[in-house]
Amino acid sequence: MRYLLSLILVGLILPSFGQENTTWQGKFEQLGNMIAPPSTYRNASGAPGADYWQQRADYTIKAELDEVNNVLTGEETIVYYNNSPDVLKYVWIQLEQNVNRKESEDFGDVMGGVKDSISSRQMQFLVRPIEFPAGYTIKYVKDGSGNTLQSLVNNTMMRVNLKQPLNPNQSASFSIAWSYHITDRSMFLLSREGYEHYPADNNNVYLIAHWFPRMAVYNDTEGWQNKQFQRLGEFALEFGNYEVEITVPADHIIASTGTLQNPKEVLSAKQRERLELANNSFDKPIQIITTDEAVESEKKKSTKRKTWHFKADNVRDFAFASSRKFIWDAQAVKLPTNTTLAMSFYPKEGLPVWMEESTKAVVNALEVYSHATFDYPYPVAISVNTSNIGMEFPMISFNGGRPVNGKISDAAKNGMVSTIVHEVGHNWFPMIVSSDERQWMWMDEGLNTFLHQRTMAERYPQASSTKPKDIVNYMKGDQSIMRPIMTTSDNELFGQFGANFYRKPTVALQILRETVIGKELFDLAFKEYANNWKYKHPNPGDLFRTLEEATAVDLDWFWRGWFFTTDNVDINLAEVKWYQMKTENISLENKGKQVKSGDLTASSGTTGNNSDFSQGPEEFTMTETPDAFYSQFLSRLNEEEVRANLEGKNIYELKLKNEGGLVMPVVIKWTFTDGSSEIDRLPAEIWRLNEHEVSKTFVKNKEVAKITIDPNLELADVDLSNNVFPKIAGKSKFEEFKEKNK
């Protein structure tokens, strides 16, 4: 009791004396109300609960593309199923094309501000929303009986008032007629869709996405997810079945979400024959449309129209691409429980690399992701070439990367392949494991980048893939502007979202897999999360809980540190003491006063200020355990055996300081004087009782020449200069100071 009391006193007094912060910050405490508490909807194990519910929206859409005026016109009927326990008097519908209007936050945003000299592309952001007739024209909103419904548009959201309240377990049907001017992709910031114009042959490639008014999500944690669409926060969408008919110029080819229902009406006999071959070609792609055929098709424009009919089941969105420029190849992929068709569509400007690499990259992504989570369930997986960036939709993605005059550098090619793998990977997160992107960009980007980087490491070892050390520069950056991962998507800085929402969670998951949990258990837990939440809407807490539940590792300290703070990893090997045991025995009666029973105590002075091993080991004396310790116990230590086990051994006491704030496992590499080495791994829990400083003692048979913390760079330690002993020679205190503060 007294011992305890004195500890408490020390704890209370120290902070006011010392310069270093030694305050207990509860880094190992449970998350508590930092995440939503479990409920009957989302249970405490991180799985959907007994009463979990989710809305559903089925769509029937007829759309027509006018390539002269670049206008898309459509009529749709939504059947909305209210599976919630709530009565709904109105519904919210997303009108994302309105983001291009003047009301949008994007308006007037000249990146970097107006300067002496500024490009016309930048300046057009000031005038474009005024001159371009952006956004939807809504022609009508009607209910199932044809009665007009009252609708009110608030920027990218439309509230539709229902004639009758929609009760639980009922459905409502309403129809919307709309049109909008398709945007030129190159003119918009971070444009996910639009058309690309090719002046040489005067053709367009249309990349059509968030094109039809879509139901907003209504769920147990948000009610209506009706936050406006701005920039980074992408989509929150309900699942449903789609029947879509798209009318385009007769010589266009459409790549789309879903299965084509009327190939006889829109494809030639030769194309259908080749598609049949592709359905049975598991080792290489088959050209459905060859280069020559695509080039021929570019030359004239048909005035006739054709209607393509697609069906897609259990998807949360629908996108398509249309052009007469497309070259098309396809290859079948056999997964344990599904056979699917990997396809690529690209203009001749993508040759030759798109023909060589795109479908191959789709196949690689499908195989690695399926193995890590669940088999890709959809009938097709499509990669469409664009000039830049990559953007994902169910079964189809628009992927940047293009050669210049047929030539592409290895780095650019790897970048292109990496983009395709990433965007195809988004089929899992968030297209099937359907998190709320508008709130949590990291939940889809972070988890997807983690598997995308694993695919690159496994299937493209020659290309570089993200490793923990790649996040160091970001993590030691300016704390005054950094946000934790648990930050709403649109509140992140443009210059930082890649690091904070993609790479940091990727590295966090890599550290969990490689260092904290171990591959086997981690992979099972990750699979558990993916399978629990497929076709559902998980929240961050559901992921956090599942990874603990399935591994028996309390990870609240990890979520706290990595997801709720901007702390970094910096373990400082502050002090090393080296001891050897004196050979002669000293009985309790004869021992010197400074030697306490049971302690390892240096026989002379302090040794902590050494910067290398040159002074040799300090000696200590092992005393016999006093009788009083044994008290009424009958068994006793074999003193000789303990002594024999320690005789001639080297004992090292390491003082570790946590300079970065994140409590982390410690990996120690011991290099011995004979050149051999070994590694010790300490769990993060060593920091439980003191989050700032910890001493650990090790016994080694051999003499140690060098000690290195995080030798394999698996922990994202931001300052490696304080990770080694002997301390790096030649560095003055001033240099060390400079390095720490840069």
Give the binding site for Zn ion (CB under 5 A). Answer: 445
Cβ at position 390, least distance to Zn ion in Å: 7
Tokens at residue 500, please? Answer: 């904070």
Residues contacting residue 333 through CB under 8 Å, at least 6 positions apart? 282, 339, 340, 341, 342, 363, 366, 367, 376, 381
Tokens at residue 461, please? Answer: 């070892």
Cα–Cα distance for residue pair 639/257, rounded to 1 Å: 75
**Between 38 and 415, CB nearer to Zn ion:** 415
Helix runs in 427-500, H state only: 441-459, 472-475, 497
**Between 266 and 391, CB nearer to Zn ion:** 391
Task: Output the residue with the shortest Cβ distance to Zn ion.
Answer: 445
Do the beta carbons of residue 399 and residue 384 sit within 8 Å?
yes
**Between 185 and 422, CB nearer to Zn ion:** 422
Query: For helices 441-459 and 410-425, what crossing angle results, to 10°?
Result: 130
DSSP type of residue 501: I
Q: Are strands 71-82 and 170-181 parallel, antiparallel or unpaired?
A: antiparallel
**Between 400 and 726, CB nearer to Zn ion:** 400
**Between 215 and 441, CB nearer to Zn ion:** 441
Cβ at position 423, least distance to Zn ion in Å: 7
Task: List residues bridging with 249 in a β-sheet.
Answer: 305
Cβ at position 501, least distance to Zn ion in Å: 9
**Between 285 and 446, CB nearer to Zn ion:** 446
Cβ at position 404, least distance to Zn ion in Å: 25
Cα–Cα distance for residue pair 155/595, rounded to 1 Å: 77
Cβ at position 188, least distance to Zn ion in Å: 18
Cβ at position 540, least distance to Zn ion in Å: 17
Query: For helices 540-549 and 519-532, what crossing angle results, to 10°?
Result: 140
Q: DSSP states of 283-329 as a string?
A: SS-EEEE-HHHHHHHHT-----EEEEEEEEEEES---EEEES--EEE
CA quadruple 693, 699, 704, 708: dihedral positive or negative?
Answer: negative
**Between 196 and 445, CB nearer to Zn ion:** 445
Cα–Cα distance for residue pair 152/95, rounded to 1 Å: 11
**Coil/strand/helix, residue 465:** coil
Cα–Cα distance for residue pair 420/560, rounded to 1 Å: 33
- Angle at the Cα of 431 (from 427 to 436), degrees rounded to 5? 140
Cβ at position 357, least distance to Zn ion in Å: 19
SS (H, E, C) 36-93: CCCCCCECCCCCECCCCCCCEEEEEEEEEEECCCCEEEEEEEEEEEECCCCCEEEEEE
Cβ at position 452, least distance to Zn ion in Å: 8
**Between 445 and 570, CB nearer to Zn ion:** 445
Q: Which of 518, 600, 590 is nearest to 552 (CA)?
A: 518
Q: Which of 495, 503, 358 is nearest to 423 (CA)?
A: 358
Do the beta carbons of residue 37 and residue 221 sit within 8 Å?
no
**Between 445 and 624, CB nearer to Zn ion:** 445
Cβ at position 422, least distance to Zn ion in Å: 6
The number of helices, as runs of H, and strands, as runs of E, in the chain is 17, 31
**Between 330 and 433, CB nearer to Zn ion:** 433
Do the beta carbons of residue 472 and residue 480 sit within 8 Å?
no
Cβ at position 441, least distance to Zn ion in Å: 9
Q: Which of 209, 129, 251 is nearest to 382 (CA)?
A: 209
Do the beta carbons of residue 99 and residue 227 sit within 8 Å?
no
Tokens at residue 577, please? Answer: 């003491």
Cβ at position 426, least distance to Zn ion in Å: 6
Cα–Cα distance for residue pair 125/189, rounded to 1 Å: 9
Cβ at position 505, least distance to Zn ion in Å: 12
**Between 450 and 652, CB nearer to Zn ion:** 450
**Between 193 and 445, CB nearer to Zn ion:** 445
Cβ at position 489, least distance to Zn ion in Å: 12
Q: Are strands 396-400 and 380-386 parallel, antiparallel or unpaired?
A: parallel
**Between 445 and 492, CB nearer to Zn ion:** 445
Cβ at position 432, least distance to Zn ion in Å: 14
Cβ at position 538, least distance to Zn ion in Å: 17
Cα–Cα distance for residue pair 494/510, rounded to 1 Å: 24
Tokens at residue 237, please? Answer: 């969408």
**Between 331 and 385, CB nearer to Zn ion:** 385
**Between 445 and 710, CB nearer to Zn ion:** 445
**Phi–psi pair at 557, nearest 5 degrees:** -60, -35
Q: Which of 150, 723, 97, 233 is nearest to 739 (CA)?
A: 723
Cβ at position 330, least distance to Zn ion in Å: 24
Cβ at position 232, least distance to Zn ion in Å: 11
**Between 490 and 703, CB nearer to Zn ion:** 490
**Between 193 and 618, CB nearer to Zn ion:** 193
Cβ at position 445, least distance to Zn ion in Å: 5
**Between 218 and 442, CB nearer to Zn ion:** 442
Q: Which of 126, 102, 131 is nearest to 114 (CA)?
A: 126
Residues contacting residue 475 through CB under 8 Å, at least 6 positions apart? 504, 566, 568, 569, 660, 716, 718
